[in-house]
Amino acid sequence: MGTEEAPAQGAQTPPESDDTSKSMDWVGLLSVILLSLMAITTAWTGFQASKWGGAMSIAFTQAGAARLEAAAASAEADRLASRQIASFAQWLVAQTQGDQETMDALYSRFRDPLKSAFDAWIKTEPFTNPDAPETPFDMPEYTTPALAQAQAAEEKADALFAEGLEFNQRGDNYTILTVIGAAVLFFAALSTRFRSRRYQWFVLGIGIVMFIGVAITLLAYPKLV
């Protein structure tokens, strides 16, 4: 009574309409390929971030050394200028007093750059010419090698510091790519965990799009080997 007939022996059961039956192999294959490519890319971006970080440290260290060199040269220029200002002040006092002998003695002790600047300054007739510079130290001839060295070292320090900041930013850029790469690995692995074919392709597609973006950006970034 009310019994259902059993299916005939040997009859084949129709395949279930599981939407992953024909696509799982493709999703799995693509996810493995994506995982492999992204793992290599992530290792490369991490390596580049480390290299740029090292370059940044070297640039900052060299900038610090250049600033020390600039400070030492500037101190030497200041010491020289102090001595020569004192000598000129003594000459000026002797000149005011009309003591030619002392003036000559002090002049004989002048050393460059004061001597060259003083000679050029005297030619401008500073005691009668109102347009003449007030002192030899205002003359263009008064230049000290130590001061020029200090200025050059300071400029070098500024350039190296700016270079270090640029290297730091490049290292940060590669670090960001590494983080994005980790997200790609996550989506690639997650895509195989869904039973729905639609979800699998959607999640895997996100990973693929992100990987393409990482790859294009990576090609445009400067590299250190």
pLDDT in tens, 116-170: 888 899 898 888 888 888 888 888 888 888 888 899 999 999 999 999 999 999 9
The pLDDT tens digits of the residues spanning 38-90 come to 999 999 999 999 999 999 999 999 999 999 999 999 998 888 889 988 998 99
- The DSSP annotation for the chain comes to --PPPPPPTTPPPPPP--TTTTTHHHHHHHHHHHHHHHHHHHHHHHHHHHHHHHHHHHHHHHHHHHHHHHHHHHHHHHHHHHHHHHHHHHHHHHHHHT-HHHHHHHHHT--TTHHHHHHHHHHT-TTT-TTS-SSGGGSTT---HHHHHHHHHHHHHHHHHHHHHHHHHHHHHHHHHHHHHHHHHHHHHHGGG-S-HHHHHHHHHHHHHHHHHHHHHHHHS----
pLDDT of residue 18: 47
**Taking a C-beta distance cutoff of 8 angstroms, is the pair 213, 166 a contact?**
no
**Taking a C-beta distance cutoff of 8 angstroms, is the pair 63, 164 a contact?**
yes
Structure confidence at residue 104 as a pLDDT band (50, 70, 90): confident
Instruction: For residue 208, give the nearest of 30, 25, 12, 63 by alpha carbon.
Output: 30
pLDDT of residue 1: 45
pLDDT of residue 17: 44
Cα pseudo-dihedral 72, 75, 80, 81, rounded to 10: 140
pLDDT of residue 13: 47
pLDDT of residue 70: 92
